Structure 1
């Protein structure tokens, strides 16, 4: 089974597909998420990651996630805006 949706994270449009695998009992046994573009994923991680880490009893990780995801978001957003247009087919 698959689900698809679109959302907005800040000023970035996010597209997601979810692949759901059902067990013999008919309940969801596995979920795989596919998110694009990469800057949307890194921004989502920066916004949701710290809260999820705190909920799982990992306050140190909650403090680290904004730093790591902020750096990844900066690289992904720069690549999306500046690098990829230069290598696009002409």
Structure 2
């Protein structure tokens, strides 16, 4: 299972939550809050997912693609949950 298909699958499966998390992180730091940027984030989310899928094919192996995208998801969702964990 070390082909382009599994790299593409990694980008497809792990790319969507990563693009959603990155768009969410971007709108949380807007001056008006998330309400002012949610439409823009929704518009950017799909093209960002396509970019992540395209970039995932460039990894040397499918295992590396899965590992890097998993780590990126963990970091981005960790950054989203960190403020909640610090407050409580």
**Fold similarity call, TM over 0.5:** no
Query: What TM-score comes out, normalization by structure 1 length?
Result: 0.33
Query: What TM-score comes out, normalization by structure 2 length?
Result: 0.34
Structure richer in strand, relative to its length = 1
Larger Rg: 1
Structure richer in helix, relative to its length = 2
